[in-house]
Amino acid sequence: MEIPENPRPVSAATPSIRRVPHPPGVAARRFSRRCALLPRRKVYDGLLLDAGGTLLQLAIPVEETYASIGKKYGIDVGGNEIKQGFKRAFAAPWPEKLRYQGDGRDFWKKVVSEATGCANNNFFEEVYEVIS
Whole-Å CA distances, 83 to 64, 79, 131: 9, 6, 15
pLDDT in tens, the chain (132 residues): 555 555 555 555 555 555 555 555 555 555 555 555 656 667 777 766 665 566 777 788 889 999 999 999 999 999 999 999 999 988 888 777 766 677 778 888 988 999 999 999 999 999 988 887
Look at residue 86 and give its three-state secondary structure. Answer: helix
pLDDT at 12: 52
CATH code that applies to domain 62-131: 1.10.150
Give the global pTM.
0.54
pLDDT at 80: 93
Whole-Å CA distances, 46 to 38, 43, 49: 22, 9, 10
- By residue count, the chain amounts to 132
pLDDT at 130: 86
How many alpha carbons fall within 13 Å on the CB side of residue 23? 1
In angstroms, rounded to a whole number, what is the distance separating the alpha carbons of residues 8 and 13? 12
Domain boundaries of the chain, sorted by first residue: 62-131
